């Protein structure tokens, strides 16, 4: 058995039967028993709650290729590159656009899986295509953006059809026609003449202030997705909580910050063993020492049940939580009537 403690940022003591480092694309076609494999990047959005009875495919592919066009830059980036280093690379080489996504932990290959987003920008805005290899069918695929099913923290790569699909390369298109995106509250006071570098510095400062660094306090970022509610539920909630922040999604639904719901419910002090809620950012669950998977599970269940009791809203983990046999299904979190 191989320890996974250093391979996921929540740092629960768990292990796997084997960790296979993928450094060349050719390795993928030689792998057998795809059902036993779990694809892993930097483990900042994955939590192993138990010993995993399978093998980890640890994506370590490297390389960045840039092609310049008259109106944009095209980048082919290997899945094992670090996302923040890529953001820095683009800015250093005069390609502004990704600055609002600075300091999001993790690998480039995982970025399309949940369509990473922050400070008013989503990765999907820059995706041209996603390329990879299906371990089950043995098929290499090039998926143009329209086939990737991107929405808020979602993509086809989270669906069962793609559960054996290893993203090897992400193709980005960064338009030359650039203006800073300053719509998000923490950036709104910046002048419209701000440079991409200045925006990146602000994003980094704000993130460092607001989010715990996993290197200091193990965590996996936002533990829950911000729930999307229909307007009937929204109206009921707004009558009771007039100061509740709301972000419209479309004509029928709006997003409510899960952190606000947890905080307002008075759940920041919740703690099960060493698993707790971060004091400043209620959306982040933390490992205060030697949290076990069971403690974390219990804590998540308590939060989901209490938020449901108070607001009638179902929280759902954003993090990929695994048990011994693989991904824990959504239904598991709602089984207590929530």
Ligand X SMILES: Cc1cc2nc3c(=O)[nH]c(=O)nc-3n(C[C@H](O)[C@H](O)[C@H](O)COP(=O)(O)OP(=O)(O)OC[C@H]3O[C@@H](n4cnc5c(N)ncnc54)[C@H](O)[C@@H]3O)c2cc1C
Choose the stretch contacting ligand X; rule: CB under 6 A; options: 24-32, 89-97, 215-223, 256-264. 215-223
Per rule CB under 6 A, is residue 317 in the interface with ligand X? no
What is the smallest separation between the CB atom of 153 and ligand X, expressed in angstroms?
6
Per rule CB under 6 A, is residue 59 in the interface with ligand X? yes
Per rule CB under 6 A, is residue 283 in the interface with ligand X? no
The yes-or-no answer on residue 207 being catalytic is: no
Per rule CB under 6 A, is residue 43 in the interface with ligand X? yes
Of 225, 224, 221, 226, the residue nearest 211 (C-alpha): 221
Q: Figure out which of the listed residues 49, 60, 100, 219 binds ligand X, where binding follows CB under 6 A.
A: 219
Per rule CB under 6 A, is residue 237 in the interface with ligand X? no
- In the chain, how long is the greatest CA-to-CA distance? 59
Choose the stretch contacting ligand X; rule: CB under 6 A; options: 34-42, 175-183, 243-251, 303-311. 34-42
Handedness of CA 164, 165, 167, 172 (dihedral sign): negative
Choose the stretch contacting ligand X; rule: CB under 6 A; options: 70-78, 211-219, 272-280, 298-306. 211-219
The yes-or-no answer on residue 202 being catalytic is: no
- Annotated catalytic residue: which of 222, 254, 292, 297? 222
- Determine contact, residues 298/270, Cβ cutoff 8 Å: no
Choose the stretch contacting ligand X; rule: CB under 6 A; options: 110-118, 195-203, 227-235, 290-298. 110-118
What is the smallest separation between the CB atom of 157 and ligand X, expressed in angstroms?
6
Q: Figure out which of the listed residues 15, 16, 41, 77 binds ligand X, where binding follows CB under 6 A.
A: 41
* Nearer Cβ to ligand X (48/311): 48
Cα 245 off chain centre by = 22
Place of tokens 């899960």: 258
What is the smallest separation between the CB atom of 232 and ligand X, expressed in angstroms?
29
- 45: number of Cβ within 10 Å: 24
Q: Which two tokens stand for residue 31?
A: 């792998």
- Determine contact, residues 325/53, Cβ cutoff 8 Å: yes
Q: Figure out which of the listed residues 34, 96, 97, 214 binds ligand X, where binding follows CB under 6 A.
A: 214
Distance CA 256, CA 56 (A): 35
- Determine contact, residues 238/295, Cβ cutoff 8 Å: no
Distance CA 325, CA 140 (A): 26
Secondary-structure percent of the chain, ordered helix, strand, coil, rounded to 5? 30, 30, 40
Q: CA angle, corner 262, sides to 117 and 213, nearest 5?
A: 50
Residues of this chain that interact with ligand X (CB under 6 A) are 9, 39-46, 59, 79, 104-107, 109-111, 113-114, 116-118, 157, 166-167, 211, 214, 219-221, 320
């Amino acid at each position: 058995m191989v320890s996974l403690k250093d391979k996921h940022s929540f740092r629960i003591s768990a292990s796997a039967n084997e960790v296979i480092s993928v450094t060349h694309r050719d390795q993928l076609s030689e792998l057998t028993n795809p059902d036993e494999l779990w694809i892993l990047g930097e483990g900042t959005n994955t939590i192993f709650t138990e010993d995993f009875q399978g093998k980890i495919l640890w994506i370590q592919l490297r390389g960045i290729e840039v092609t310049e066009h008259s109106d944009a830059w095209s980048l082919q980036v290997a899945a094992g590159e670090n996302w923040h280093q890529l953001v820095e690379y683009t800015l250093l080489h005069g390609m502004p656009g990704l600055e609002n996504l600075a300091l999001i932990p993790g690998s480039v290959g995982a970025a399309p899986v949940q369509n990473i987003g922050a400070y008013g920008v989503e990765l999907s805005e820059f995706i041209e295509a996603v390329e990879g290899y299906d371990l089950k069918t043995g098929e290499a695929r090039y998926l143009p953006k329209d086939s990737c099913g991107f929405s808020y923290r979602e993509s086809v790569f989270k669906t069962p059809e793609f559960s054996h699909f290893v993203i090897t390369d992400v193709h980005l298109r960064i338009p030359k026609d650039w203006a800073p995106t300053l719509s998000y509250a923490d950036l709104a006071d910046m002048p419209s003449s701000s440079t991409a570098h200045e925006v990146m510095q602000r994003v980094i400062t704000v993130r460092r202030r607001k989010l715990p660094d996993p290197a200091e306090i193990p965590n996996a970022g936002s533990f829950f997705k911000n729930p999307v509610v229909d307007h009937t539920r929204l109206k009921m909630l707004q009558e009771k909580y007039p100061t509740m922040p709301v972000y419209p999604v479309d004509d029928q639904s709006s997003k409510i910050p899960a952190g606000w719901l947890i905080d307002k419910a008075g759940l920041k002090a919740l703690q099960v063993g060493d698993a707790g809620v971060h004091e400043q950012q209620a959306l982040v669950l933390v490992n205060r020492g030697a949290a076990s998977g069971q403690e974390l599970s219990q804590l998540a269940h308590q939060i989901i049940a209490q938020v449901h009791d108070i607001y009638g809203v179902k929280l759902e983990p954003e993090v990929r939580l695994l048990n011994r046999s693989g991904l824990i299904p959504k239904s598991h979190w709602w089984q207590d009537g929530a």
